[in-house]
Amino acid sequence: MSQYFSKFLCVFLLLSGYAPEVALAQQAEGNEKITLERAEVLRKTKNQADVRKLIKEVIVRHKGSILYCDSAYLHENKNKVDAFGNVRLIGSDGTRLNSDSLYYDGNTRIARAVGKVTLIDDDMRLNAQELDYNMDEGVAYYYSGGKIVDSEKTLTSQSGSYDVNAKVFYFTKDVVLITKSDGRKVETDKLTYNTISRLAFFQGPTWITSSTGKIYTESGNFNTETEESNFKGRSRLEDEKYIMEGDSLHFSNSRKVGDVFGNVWIFSKKDSIIIEGDAAFYRGNEGLSKVYGNALLRSINGPDTLYLKADTLLSIDRQDSSQRYLLAYPYAKIFNKDFQGKCDSLVYNRTDSTIYFYQDPVLWSKGSQLTADSIQITIIDNKVKQMRMRWDAYMISEDTIKNYNQLKGKNMVAYFQNNQIRHLEVKGNGQNIYFALERDTILVGMNRVECTDMNIYFGQKNKVEKIAYITRPDAVFVPPHEIIQPQTRFKNFVWRIDEKPILKEMLRQKVYALEKKWRK
């Protein structure tokens, strides 16, 4: 009975034109056959009974996709087609693939296009010499160079892929992205671009160049529509005025807003100023920029460098006014080879090159210590020209045998030449203690003078050469054997040399490879 049933089934399938092994294979695979819709000439091929040669105005269909070409070979058993000449494949999703030739597998739904390949999706056009297109996944791949063109950008790379459904490009090796609106150019080795969000993600060394400047980074993303950038890894931004580096950087070119975090390094080209810190922000429309966390400013002018250090440095540069200030606070310190200083807060007026020291300021210059309620310094070409000390002005200098010459007054004005004090005016409540020496080693005596106003003139190494008392002075000369300790100090005397800044303490410890490279 079983043999009879088997024979009957075989006869039935054969009469139906259906080979048992083919039926079973197609049932297992569940594949839909490629169908021929049109061809002017249909021929069998020698020695290949299952292959049909199709000639002129060929049209075949498969799962909603239509293939047009000049000629083709249809492999019926393998469910494949080889198409040649003016090939056009229109996908069920509306994508269009044009090429010189195309090899399509109906089982895997993978189309391999060769020669002058163009994949079109909406207004996006992908050009390549060879392209693999997985129509089930909706992903196209190329490996020997490709070019993407749409209304907003042009993009080239050695290899890459395009996800039709997600509208996302993945590019590798020699990637170049150019936006048409502003000519911005992105060069990298690995780039992902989302055409919906307009976000470009890159990994590895990346250069972004535009008419306003250039950027180097190693990882991050860039929005081609809003011009918002987020960079990770050591990154660098440069425009016509500034160079900025940091471990991570966010910047909006359209809003002129920037935030930098981690080991910030900024260079002002116009002023030859370098600023370093732990973090920074920039608000271009407000004229504000701030560096905070162990902030350091270096003003470079030939061999003379001015160092300014504080927890926070705030720059105010108003485009609609003459306000150009730099604020340093708290714990501000300043260092130059010829003078040093510290205070709680400092203001530098960049318009007239004047520095204001507030809250317990103290300065040192060539062995002299100066203190007052507030101090104002005018600097020209990184050299001190004038210093004004207001309220409780006090100047102390140490001589060669450790005595302390002292000047006090309500206000003082000091005049400098080559960063050395040459003339000092004391105005109001003037007091002076001066130790007379012979050959800088033998104490002759001590002069103690009180006079409302006085002028003091200095020679080399800040040594007093002349004192002019403007009103009648009340003077006392004390010989060495009669000098007692209380007479040698004015009220509130404090020698604060231990607080004097030194260069090693001013500098930040780490110098980065990018800084070394770009400063060459």
Q: Tens digit of pLDDT for each residue in 64-87?
A: 999 999 999 999 889 999 999 999
* 7 pLDDT above the threshold of 70: no
Q: Which two tokens stand for residue 216?
A: 């180097």
Closest CA to 302 of 340, 334, 337: 337
Q: What is the DSSP string of 172-211?
A: EEEEEEEETTT--EEEEEEEEEETTTTEEEEEEEEEEEET
What is the pLDDT averaged over residues 360-373?
90
Place of tokens 């609609």: 320
Domain ranges of the chain: 32-144, 354-501
* 286 pLDDT above the threshold of 70: yes
Confidence of residue 515 (pLDDT cuts 50, 70, 90): very low
The architecture of the domain spanning 354-501 is: Sandwich (2.60)
Position 283 scores a pLDDT of 86
What separation in angstroms does the CA of 391 have from each of 230, 360, 372, 410, 494? 50, 12, 6, 5, 17
Position 519 scores a pLDDT of 43
* 3 pLDDT above the threshold of 50: no
Q: pTM for the complete prediction?
A: 0.74
CA distance 483 to 487: 7
CATH code, 32-144: 2.60.450.10
Q: For the segment 162-172, what is each residue's pLDDT rounded down to a tens digit?
A: 999 999 999 99
Closest CA to 196 of 127, 253, 122: 122
Do the two domains 32-144 and 354-501 of this chain adopt the same fold? yes
Q: For the segment 375-416, what is each residue's pLDDT rounded down to a tens digit?
A: 999 988 767 889 999 999 999 988 889 999 999 999 999 998
Closest CA to 413 of 383, 378, 388, 384: 388
Q: For the segment 77-130, what is each residue's pLDDT rounded down to a tens digit?
A: 899 999 999 999 999 888 999 999 999 999 999 999 999 999 999 888 999 999
Position 375 scores a pLDDT of 95
Mapping DSSP to helix (H, G, I), strand (E, B) and coil, where does residue 457 land? Answer: strand
C-alpha torsion 105→106→110→112, nearest 10: 40
Listed range (6-15, 147-156, 163-172, 322-331) with the worst mean pLDDT: 6-15
Q: Comparing 463 with 128, which gets the higher pLDDT?
A: 128
Query: Sign (positive/negative) of CA torsion 463, 468, 470, 471?
Result: positive
Position 393 scores a pLDDT of 95
CA 303 to chain centroid? 29
What is the pLDDT averaged over residues 255-267?
89
User: In the 8-state DSSP scheme, what is residue 499?
Assistant: G
Closest CA to 136 of 172, 95, 114, 108: 108
Position 23 scores a pLDDT of 35
